Every structure is written in C-alpha cells, then in structure tokens.
Structure 1
Amino acid sequence: MPAPRQARPNIVLILADNLGWGELGCYGGGALRGAPTPRIDALAAEGARYTNFNVESDCVPTRSALMTGRHPVRTGALQSVPAGLPQGIVPWERTLAQQLSDAGYATAMFGKWHLGDKEGRYPKDRGFDEWYGIPRTTNESMFMEAVGFDPSVVEPPYVMEGIKGQPAEKRELYDLEMRRRIDGELARRSCDFIARHSDAEPFFLYVPLTQMHFPTIPHRDFEGRTKKGDFADSLVEMDARVGEIIDAVDAHGLRDNTVFIFASDNGPEYRRPWRGSAGMWTGTYHTAMEGALRVPLIVRWPGKVQAGAVSNDILHVVDLFPTLSRIAGAALPDDRIIDGVDQFDFLVGQQDTSSREGFVYYIKTEMRAAKWRDWKMHFVWEVEPNAGANHLETPYLFNLVQDPKEESDVNSTQGWVRGPIRKMIHQFQESLRDFPPVPPGAPDDYVPAKR
C-alpha cells in the first residue's frame, strides 16, 4: 500500500550526460577546468556528496539500469542503436516511473530517453505523464551538416513531445542550433512542471540533460562566457540549468519536502575535442577503468540527509530504483531479479555504511571487471576505448585506495581478495542461468519464461 501522500516527498532527479568525476568544483574540478560550478557545489554543501557512485559502461546501459534497477545484461539494453532498429527495454520491464506513477505520483520527463524510439516504448508509454526531449542521443544533431548526409536513407532526428495515452509528436528538428538550445528548454519545462504541481504533490521529475555529451557546445547565451572554450562554457551552462530547477523547487516552498538528486550517467566524454576529465581516476566511459565507473552523485533532502556529508561507500545506479520506490511507498516487483539494493537507511543516517559491498561490471555481454570493497579485479584490460581488449590469463587486482590510477597489481600481496570477488561473480552468474536475460532486440510482446 502506498504511504500517505503527505508523508511522501517530491523527487527531482537530474542526470547529466557524460559528466566526469573531475569536472565539478565540489569534486575537485570547477575553476580548475575553467568553469566554476557554484550552483551544484552549493547543492552538495546542502546535501550529501558520494565519491563512490558507480554506473554502467555507456548511455543506454546506465539509463536501463536506472529505470529498471537491473543490470543491462539482464534487460538486453546493451548499447546505442541507430534509428529504425529494435532498441531499448521491452514493455515487460517495469520502470521507476511506473513504480512512482502507480504509487500516486505525477510524473514528467524532460530530456534524453535512449530506451526506445517507437510507440509503446517512448517515456509517455513507460510511466511518465508527459515527456519532451530526444528519443535517442545528442550526436545525431550533427547528422544534417555531415558530409554526404542522405535524408532518404536516414531520417533527420527530432525533438519530440508526448502525453500519456496520446501518440508522440515531432516538434523541432534536432540540428546543431537546437542542440545548443535544448537544455534551456528542458530547464524551462521542468520549472513549469514544478509550478503546476506545487500544490498537488507528490511528483517525480526526471531531467536527463544533454550536456556534456558530444558535440559539447553551449547555448548562445553562454557562448564565450568562460573564455576557455566550448566545453567550459557548456559546463557553466549545465550548472546554471541545474540552478534554475533548484530555484523553482525552493521558490514554491518545496525545498524541505523534496528529494533532490544530481548525478551523471557515465564517465567523461572521450571524443576529442570534447574530452572530459575523471579527476584522480584513469579512463573514460566505454571502459572498465575507474574513471568510467565513478561519477558524481549529490543528494539533498533537508532534515533527512545530513548536509555536508561525504561518503566513499560503494553505491550503484541500480540502487536508485529500490531506494526511490521505498521513499514513494511502492512495493518492488517480485517476479524478476532486482539487482539494486535499498539504500534508504544509509542515505538518511540510520546505518553507517552502504548496503552494498560490490558489483559485477559488463560491457555488452562480456564481464570486464568486478569491484568489491576497496578492490577491483579486471578480467579484460582496455584502458582506452577501442584500444584493443586484452583478455587476461591472470586477472589484474588493484587496491583502489592505495592505487587509484590502477597501475600496481596486488595479486601477490593481497590475493585473499580473489575469494570473495569470485563468490560474488559466481552468485551473479548463477542468477543469469536461473533467470535468462532478455535478448537484445526482443519484440514488444516478449515475456520471459516463468521460473
């Protein structure tokens, strides 16, 4: 049964795109990256900052994990797919938005979806009352100006809008100028949604921004703002857009009864000239390096989450599904494996440590690494995307506290760690055998066999 409405907070979840661990001021970047981030830094001071929040290998897998609480190797949402091909999550998967909608929340999404680009799979079909944004990804904005682009074989991308129960509609052509404008429009619509629902809480607002995904170019109002180039201007813009949404929550008197979450979907952008930073960690997304796994996570919930707290305990993006479901008073599905663990008690200080000790890490269907407590074991070594995957005869083992750059194998001196890591892997692989994954590209009517 849902909790009484007045006891349940609003939830605002902002997800940056390819924002590395080392970009924000509160994570050691900011002015050092040519781009102060005062609004997000202030959010971290008012809430808790987590330095060991982990995600999946790239955009689609992380968004699938966020929405379902399940690792993408289970959901079949393994990678970005061009328009016109089967993609995203099958309707059988239950989304976080469906969880909260069924619990009585008004729901809206403004931003990048990347989990299905046809009727039946758009956000408005998957638990969101309203949606405005892009069904796939930002680099499509470059198509129309690309050499030899042929609209007869590749449909130009559009920003779309959808209302629950109605067909989605195309709005603006997603070209490079719209790419510059889109995050401003996402913030504007977010503020409007907050205003419309300020007297009718609770609500769930999901804002997956497009910055800092390539092409990383800012709104014209922010162009030249830093004098440090497009990337720094875009980072300043992103900080300002987050600030606009914070201000809307606070201005409507919702601050104390709103769980405000800011996170990133992946490690830093690796494509030049838009290369990002993972700070003290090595690597970018599309790898199993720590720079791919760790991204910013900030949670503000006045009176519940300790202001100014910092934790290096392991959290994972799949944990948001059960944690936010509990906050909303929504029961978890009992007919499938949920990989996420409920972190409510940890977030609000009712327990001192995370409820998670580790996790397995896949890129597509290949297990690349496993992380447990202070250690990570690599089975496939690839520091740079497309550098060539080296399948290791003897896996590398790193102590991430002693060696954050992952340079010194400790198999010989700390080999005892292989035991608990191997047990964790064995349990996960047994669960894949007991509950076979959804195959990539499965049709809409796919339903796993009952077990």
Structure 2
Amino acid sequence: MRVRRCSARSNHFDIGSPFLRYRPLTSLPLEYRILSRFSPGKEQMMTHQSFLGSESPTFLPGYFPEFVKPLELPSSSDLHRGIAILLSICQLIQYLWKVVAFSECQKSLVRTMTDGKSEAFQGWVSWLENGLFLLPLVGLLWQPCRSSGEAGSKPNIVLIIVDDLGIGDLGCYGNDTIRTPNIDRLAKQGVRLTQHISAASMCTPSRAAILTGRYPVRSGMASNNDKRVLVSLDVSGGLPRNETTFAALLKKQGYSTGLIGKWHQGLNCRTHNDHCHHPIHYGFQSYYGMPFTLISPCWPDTSRDTELAFEGRLWLCMQLLLIALVTLVFMKLKGWLHSPWLLILSIATFGFLLALSWYSSYTSSLYWDCILMKNQEITEQPMKGERAGLIMLKEAVSFLQRNREGPFLLFFSFLHVHVPLPTTKEFLGVSQHGLYGDNVEEMDSLLGKLVDAIDANGLGNNTLILFTSDHGGHLEARNGHIQMGGWNGIYKGGKGMGGWEGGIRVPAIARWLGVLPAGTVINQLTSSMDFYPTMAALGGGTVPKDRVIDGRDLMPLLRGDIQHSDHEFLFHYCGTYLHAARWQPKNSAAVWKVHYVTPIFQPKGAGACYDTIFCACFGENVTHHDPPLLFDLSKDPSESQPLSRESEPLYDSVIRTVGEALKRHRRSLTPVPQVLSEQNEYSAWRKPCCGLFPFCLCDKEDGHSMAQGDGDKSA
C-alpha cells in the first residue's frame, strides 16, 4: 500500500486515492476514539487501502478516513447546511460501495441486479457504480466553501494573563536560566510580539485596560494619590458598571464566558455580600478564583490549620457560654439562684475577653482578602495559596470540557508569579533563582497542562490563545537580599513605573493553529488594550460607539495581512499623571520615546525605588523634565543614552510632533470619577464572610471536584 504525507505541515496521509485520506485519530474528540475490536488493546480505526485495486480491508493504526469523520456543518446558511448533509450522505454511500469495489462479489452483485431489468434500471446501476467517482470532484469544489465557512465561524478564545511576570523571565525572550518549555512551545507554534505595551504598570488599572480596551484614566480606574490599586476587598470601589468588557461583548454573541483566577476589580459596594463588582456583572457567566490579589499574609500561614480545627469548637463554646450567662441572669432575677452577682459578672467578662482576643486575630488581611470564590459563594476563607493553582487548572479543564462545542471565552488569570509566591512542594527548590524561579516554572507547568487540555479536546484549530503579563516584574520585591520579583531583561525599571520600559513592556504570544503563521516574530508596536477589539471582531460583535476605544484589532497584523501596526502613538500613565509617550512613524524604523516625568530611584544610584517599595507618580520623589528626555528605542531599547539637539537632528521635530499628539489625546479625555482615589477606603461592613460574622473561617475545597455546570448565566 502506498502511503504518503499530504504536506510537510500536515499530519494527514493519503493512500494514492484522489478521494480518501486519513486523519490522526488523536485529532478526534474523545468520544470518537473507538477501540477497534479487530485489534484488542490498541486504539485504532478500521481503514481501507487504496480503492484502485485493493481487495480487502486493512488497518492504518491511529488513523481514520477523512470523509467518515463526525459531520461538520457550516453555520452560515440553511443552504450550506443542506448541501453538506447531502454530500456527507453521498460520501458515506461511496465509501460503503467502494469497500467492495472491483471484487468478484461486487461484479456478481451487479450482474444479478441488472439481469432482466430495464435499460433505465441498468443505467441507474451503472451510474451508481461509475458516477460515484465524480463525487470527490464535487467534494473538492465544495471544500473551499466549507473551509471558508469554518474559518469564518466564531473561534474559541483563551486569554491567559500572568501576574507580575517580567519579559526577561521567559526562555523565548532570552532567559536561559529559568525553564519555561511550555511557553516557549507556545511561541514556536504561534506569533511572538516584542513591543507589546501594558496600559499601566500596576495590577488594577492594567487589568481594567485589558477588560475595556481603554486607558484606565478614561474609565476612572486610575489614581491621583498613592493608592494606585484597590487596596482591599472591603473598599467600595471597582470597575464602573457602565464599562463594557470584552466578556460582555462576546456573551451577546452567544459565547459561553468564564473567568478563572485573579479579578482585582472590586467586589462589594455597601454590604459584605452585595457583590456589586463581581465578575458576573461584567459578562462572565461563571467565575472561580480570587476576587482580590495575593498579598504577603496569604502564604505561608502555619497557624491556619489549627485555627480551622478550633473554629467550630470555639463557636460552640461561645454559644454555650452565652446561653449559660442568660440563664444565670434570668434565674438570679427570679430568685431561683443565690450565687453572687460577682460570679455572673466574672463569667460575662471572661466571655467578652475571649471573644475580643479571638476577634483581634482577624485584623490580619489573611482572613478578609485571601479568599477563594466559586461564582458568588466563598469556598475558602482564608485560602491555601499553594493549592489554588491546581484547583484553578481543574476548573479550567472542566470549563473546556463543558463548552467544547463552543464558542467560548476563557479568561485564565494566574495568581502566579506575585508575591508571596505560594508554590507546591513539587516545585520548591527546582530552579536556579530561588522561590521566584520555582514559582515561574510551576506556572509554566500549569500553563502547559492547560494548553494540552485545549489540544486534547480537539480545540486547537479553532481556538485563539492569547498569553501576556499584566505589567513588568516587581524589582523592589525582596526578602533581604533575595529577589522575590521578576526580571525585565535589558529594559530599565519595573512594576509601578509608568514610563520606563521595564514596567510596561511585557511578553505577548498569540497561537491559533492553522490560522496564524507559526514561529513568527513581530517587532511592531502593540498594546494590551488591543485584545478588546480583536476579540470583538472575531466574535462577530462591534465595539461601543459611545466611547473612545484605544485598542486596535490585532488579527491583520498577526496573520501577516499588514506589516505595520495601527498604533502610531501610545501614552504612558502613572496613575492619572502622564509620564511618557511614544511615537512609531509609519515611514520610519525609529521608535521615539519622550519622557516628561521620571521617578527618583532610591537609594541613589539604584535601579528602582527600594526605600519605598513602589516608585512615586508625583511629588518630591519624581523629576519633571523640561525639555523632555528623548530616546530612540530602535537603537537604545534600554533607554540608557538620552538624545539632545546636538546628537539628534530630529529632536525638535519629534518633541513637537509628540506634543501635538498629546494635546489631541488630552482633548479626547472626559472627566470621570477616579475610583482608586475616591472609593478606596476600608469598611468593616464590606468584609466578605462565608459564615456568621465574625466566625468566617471555612474550607469547602477539601476533596475538590471539578465543576459540573456554569454559574448564573442570566447575569
């Protein structure tokens, strides 16, 4: 039997027949992988040799005939659907007929059918025997139409965001000491972006920009004071409800939408359970994860197990003590008890002090901010940080299996690699870079399993995977002299620095098998805000027309339809303060970066703000530059040599052009309440609680099983 591969980039095989080829069995959904009874213990499908002379069926282990695959119907119109059904039926008849083609049995059957029959009947049998050879030609003519319909159908979208990951932490971006094989594989299979810019250098505003496709200053998710992120779950602020997220757009287009992982866009407004800023109000039909962000108290917590075991008994003791106290007072007043009031007062004082001392331990953020939720139910308070990643992965795999018929949107938001870097024992000590490196390698492993689950469910060819970090690595995150934050490669600065490249240039990879050219590297200017219009276009929706959308559709650039980015200018904010802007002229290879404000590093001569943990956006700890600093990033990506009028003939022209663009940008801004400045105050009434306050300890994750259904889809 002559078997050859159809093309160098294909896993299909043909066997010399113009109308039959074999696809890998592993490309089928699991329910179609049938164990052949003809070869017990081996997963294979019965196939047939070339019909041009084969006399008996044979096997091609691990492959199945192309035209007996599960029926794929284009969704564009009823006419296409009917034609597809007709062709599939004809192909099935053709297959059954040709299995016995040219055999003595078939010839005898034809003679029996035609003997003594009318010429019309004999002609019909002759057409059935010979005319079926024309069906493959019809199929070939139909195939481009069907392929076009498939390509035009709505793809699944998986957005993966890592927390605080530096661009220099990954192998595919030049790191040769931290092992990230799964992210590197994703880059080889897709498109890697080298000038991908986050809209902010802190968690809350950068994620708001991704969700809305807008600069955070437009939505109010920026700050004019030192509180540059939502500082707790008991603040009233959150992403404004009048903002339309990409999840809301895709939900309207029939997508199943889910968010797994970090949210950090608010939770409650007035009470501990009103959930006014819960993800379900922003287009996500299901949610599992951490509504806040990892903070130092979240891990490790050696006392937690003891407290959980003691919590139930303590609540029972408090109830019994209260009942006893009320009973004693009642009996004393009735004259049934002759014990002195001093004894009763002592019991009451003991109970009060016990409750007060127990409650004082709750001042730690561990109990109020380090929680996990499933939809609107708190499942773990406080959470076990080291196992959260594995549970999130299980939830993600479950989501894929439930929604593999598509289309779906999965936003997988890692808790990794934010301090305090909770890591499972399996990955402790495996890297060359301490706990941070261990956490990065664990994240890479989890991501690899997620991508494997996408491919194992047969979703790879119809799923766009987008991977990025929310902003640059945190240089000031240290434990003594041990680095606990990420590395930003050659780029100056890091997390919290609104203008320097290390705080806002992030890794970004896009993979869509068969659609995006594998192994491509794009050096054009792109933004994290671009995900929004990209998803809208792929999902068949339109971006809102009543507001400015700052992102641009990435697909023409990713596919190679255009060679130049749609972005000409990008503006870089630190809170509400504009620190820098960049310009990539369409007729030049230069990338100009203009700095108006830069932070003052401490101690003097350092490369970050180690004295204050985060660099300031305003005040005495920043420098205002007049004239501005100018860099050409195409020649000086590390921003080490500022240009001047003497060294750069275009200095005045560039400063003037960027200044005019900045004026146009500022005219496009509409004043809105700044959430992080005005709605970022603590309140005990908004503290989430999974039980009867203040007895809020709970752990519903032991024996965790994968979810069987989505959350409130009516939201």
Looking at structure 1, the residues matched to 414 and 369 of structure 2 have their Cα atoms a distance apart, in angstroms, of 17
Looking at structure 2, the residues matched to 36 and 68 of structure 1 have their Cα atoms a distance apart, in angstroms, of 33
2:579 to 368, 376, 384: 368
Aligned structure 1 segments of 4 or more residues deviating by more than 6 angstroms:
none
The yes-or-no answer on 1:40 pairing with 2:183 is yes
Look up the match of 1:94.
244
Higher strand share goes to which structure? 1
The yes-or-no answer on 1:108 pairing with 2:258 is yes
- How many residues in Structure 1 have an aligned counterpart in Structure 2? 429
Looking at structure 2, the residues matched to 71 and 174 of structure 1 have their Cα atoms a distance apart, in angstroms, of 33
Look up the match of 2:492.
282
% same residue: 33
The yes-or-no answer on 1:173 pairing with 2:404 is no
Structure 2 residue identity aligned to 1:343 = L
Looking at structure 2, the residues matched to 121 and 88 of structure 1 have their Cα atoms a distance apart, in angstroms, of 6
Question: Contact 1:190–1:245 (CA<8 Å) still a contact in 2?
Answer: yes
Counterpart secondary structure, 1:188: helix
The yes-or-no answer on 1:295 pairing with 2:506 is yes
- 1:294-313 alignment, distance < 5 Å: 294-313=505-524
Look up the match of 2:559.
348
Question: Contact 2:531–2:551 (CA<8 Å) still a contact in 1?
Answer: yes
Counterpart secondary structure, 1:151: helix
Question: Contact 1:74–1:438 (CA<8 Å) still a contact in 2?
Answer: no
Look up the match of 2:445.
240
Question: Contact 1:314–1:356 (CA<8 Å) still a contact in 2?
Answer: yes
Using CA pairs below 8 Å that are at least 6 residues apart, which structure has the higher relative contact order? 1
Structure 2 residue identity aligned to 1:279 = G
Q: Report the CA distance between 1:248 and its aligned residue.
A: 0.5
Indicate the larger mover: 228-237 or 383-392: 383-392
Question: Contact 2:372–2:378 (CA<8 Å) still a contact in 1?
Answer: yes
Looking at structure 1, the residues matched to 569 and 429 of structure 2 have their Cα atoms a distance apart, in angstroms, of 43
CA RMSD between the two structures: 2.2
Distance 1:254 1:159, change over 3 A: same
Indicate the larger mover: 331-340 or 15-24: 331-340
Q: Report the CA distance between 1:403 and its aligned residue.
A: 1.4
Question: Contact 2:373–2:380 (CA<8 Å) still a contact in 1?
Answer: no
Look up the match of 1:80.
229
1:439 to 674, 688, 694: 674
Indicate the larger mover: 203-212 or 70-79: 70-79
Looking at structure 2, the residues matched to 251 and 144 of structure 1 have their Cα atoms a distance apart, in angstroms, of 35
Looking at structure 2, the residues matched to 408 and 421 of structure 1 have their Cα atoms a distance apart, in angstroms, of 19
1:252 to 453, 457, 466: 457
Distance 1:158 1:409, change over 3 A: closer
Looking at structure 1, the residues matched to 540 and 644 of structure 2 have their Cα atoms a distance apart, in angstroms, of 44
Structure 1 residue identity aligned to 2:635 = Q
Higher helix share goes to which structure? 2
Look up the match of 2:197.
54
Answer with 1 or 2: which has the greater Rg.
Answer: 2
Structure 2: 5+ residue runs without aligned partners? 1-74, 77-148, 223-227, 269-274, 303-356, 585-590, 602-607, 609-613, 680-715
Q: Report the CA distance between 1:371 and its aligned residue.
A: 1.3
Structure 1 residue identity aligned to 2:187 = A
Look up the match of 2:215.
71
1:261 to 461, 466, 471: 466
Question: Contact 2:372–2:381 (CA<8 Å) still a contact in 1?
Answer: no
Question: Contact 1:49–1:309 (CA<8 Å) still a contact in 2?
Answer: yes
Question: Contact 1:107–1:130 (CA<8 Å) still a contact in 2?
Answer: yes
Scaled by the length of structure 1, the TM-score of the pair is 0.90
Structure 2 residue identity aligned to 1:253 = G
Look up the match of 1:399.
632
Structure 1: 5+ residue runs without aligned partners? 444-451
Q: Report the CA distance between 1:48 and its aligned residue.
A: 0.4
Look up the match of 2:408.
203
Distance 1:74 1:264, change over 3 A: same
Structure 2 residue identity aligned to 1:425 = L
Structure 1 residue identity aligned to 2:491 = W
Look up the match of 2:658.
421
Looking at structure 2, the residues matched to 269 and 180 of structure 1 have their Cα atoms a distance apart, in angstroms, of 20
Look up the match of 1:15.
161
Question: Contact 2:298–2:370 (CA<8 Å) still a contact in 1?
Answer: no
Q: Report the CA distance between 1:157 and its aligned residue.
A: 2.4
Counterpart secondary structure, 1:239: helix
1:386 to 615, 638, 645: 615
Question: Contact 1:141–1:179 (CA<8 Å) still a contact in 2?
Answer: no
Looking at structure 1, the residues matched to 474 and 363 of structure 2 have their Cα atoms a distance apart, in angstroms, of 31
Question: Contact 1:140–1:174 (CA<8 Å) still a contact in 2?
Answer: no
Question: Contact 1:225–1:233 (CA<8 Å) still a contact in 2?
Answer: yes
Looking at structure 1, the residues matched to 427 and 364 of structure 2 have their Cα atoms a distance apart, in angstroms, of 35
Question: Contact 2:468–2:509 (CA<8 Å) still a contact in 1?
Answer: yes
Looking at structure 1, the residues matched to 298 and 454 of structure 2 have their Cα atoms a distance apart, in angstroms, of 34
* Residues 328-382 of structure 1 deviation map (CA, whole Å, 9 limit, x = unaligned): 1111111111111222211221111111122111111100110112111111112
Question: Contact 1:77–1:87 (CA<8 Å) still a contact in 2?
Answer: no
Distance 1:11 1:430, change over 3 A: same
Counterpart secondary structure, 1:138: coil
Counterpart secondary structure, 2:524: coil
Looking at structure 1, the residues matched to 452 and 297 of structure 2 have their Cα atoms a distance apart, in angstroms, of 30
Structure 2 residue identity aligned to 1:70 = R
Looking at structure 2, the residues matched to 124 and 10 of structure 1 have their Cα atoms a distance apart, in angstroms, of 20
Counterpart secondary structure, 2:179: coil
The yes-or-no answer on 1:157 pairing with 2:369 is yes
